[in-house]
């Protein structure tokens, strides 16, 4: 029976690289490499397209003899390289750490030097140009808790940004931190939701399908699953092994 379960697992866990059965302990072990991201990577263009549709809000302000603003801001590129994925084991789940997340954004900026005379702004000079934003030390942390053949994801994204101004806009150097805060806020608002939805809509249905097949052939008693079966999570050398072992 467990051998049949192995075949079912192979059919539905497309991210798995090896399935083993210990005949002495009746333990099913599913061995998964960082290619677990491959399942989601097939939908990576959906994430990329969604992220690049994020608009950076326009903003304008005034400081002493300077008026400034940003506009037409957008994210041009977003990607999560597969070779940056690693595992960490947690209680009843798995933690995916994704390093080297790449983000690039462009923003138009303008600045006016002038003064107010009789409450009316008098412009002396005006400058405009591009503001380039690029991620540094960016990483995505995905915690997936297991419950009844479903993963409940929690996603966090962290990043430092490098911001460069074209020559004429170096007057806005003081504005660098505020621009970074705006971009990071937009990414943190949208990206975790997108990845969470991807896991829920693409990975969990496979797990539920596997559960249905197991129930159909009566391989496991899934009623009170936690009472009859123990989940074992082990990470060694960046390889995740999930063991399903009957409780004695």
Whose CA is closest to 55, among 71, 43, 44?
71
Average of per-residue pLDDT across 65-75 = 92
Neighbours of 178 (CB within 10 A): 13
Average of per-residue pLDDT across 50-59 = 88
- Measured in degrees and rounded to the nearest 5, phi and psi for residue 210 equal -60, -40
Average pLDDT across the chain, whole number: 75
pLDDT at 68: 92
Residue 230 has pLDDT above 70, yes or no: no
At 47, is the pLDDT very low, low, confident or very high (cuts 50, 70, 90)?
confident
pLDDT at 18: 41
pLDDT for 138-189, tens place per residue? 898 988 887 777 888 898 999 999 999 988 788 888 889 999 999 999 989 8
pLDDT at 121: 84
pLDDT at 134: 94
CATH number at residue 176: 3.15.10.10
pLDDT for 11-25, tens place per residue? 334 444 343 444 444
Average of per-residue pLDDT across 66-91 = 83
pLDDT at 20: 43
Domains identified in the chain, total number: 1
Residue 26 has pLDDT above 80, yes or no: no
Neighbours of 107 (CB within 10 A): 22
Residue 84: DSSP 8-state: G
Higher pLDDT, 90 or 52: 52
Share of the chain above pLDDT 90, in %: 21
Distance of alpha carbon 33 from alpha carbon 246, whole angstroms: 24
Q: Looking at 38-47, 84-93, 138-147, 206-215, which range is the least confident one?
A: 38-47
Instruction: Please list the residues that pair with 120 across neighbouring strands.
Output: 117
Average of per-residue pLDDT across 112-124 = 87
Can you give the residue range of the structural domain that contains 188?
A: 2-246
Decide: 95 and 145 in contact? Cβ < 8 Å.
Answer: no
């Amino acid at each position: 029976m467990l051998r049949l379960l192995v075949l079912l697992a192979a059919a539905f866990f497309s991210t798995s690289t090896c399935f083993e059965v210990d005949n002495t302990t009746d333990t099913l072990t599913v061995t998964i490499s960082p290619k677990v991201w491959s399942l989601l990577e097939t939908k990576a263009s959906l994430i990329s397209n969604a992220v690049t549709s994020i608009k950076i809000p326009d903003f304008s302000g005034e400081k002493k003899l300077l008026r400034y603003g940003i506009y037409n801001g957008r994210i041009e590129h977003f990607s999560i390289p597969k070779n940056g994925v690693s595992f960490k084991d947690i209680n009843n789940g798995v933690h995916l750490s994704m390093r080297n997340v790449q983000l690039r954004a462009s923003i138009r900026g303008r600045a006016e030097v002038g003064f107010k005379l009789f409450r009316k702004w008098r412009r002396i000079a005006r400058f405009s140009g591009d503001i380039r934003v690029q991620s540094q030390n960016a990483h995505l942390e995905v915690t997936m808790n297991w419950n009844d053949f479903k993963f409940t994801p929690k996603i966090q994204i962290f990043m430092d940004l490098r911001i460069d101004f074209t020559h004429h806009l170096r007057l806005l150097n003081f504005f660098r931190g505020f621009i970074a805060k705006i971009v990071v806020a937009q990414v943190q608002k949208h990206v975790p939701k997108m990845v969470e939805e991807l896991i829920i809509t693409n990975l969990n249905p496979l797990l539920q399908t596997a559960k249905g097949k197991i129930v159909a052939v009566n391989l496991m008693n899934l009623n009170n699953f936690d009472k009859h079966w123990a989940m074992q999570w082990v990470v060694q050398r960046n390889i995740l092994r999930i063991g399903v072992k009957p409780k004695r």
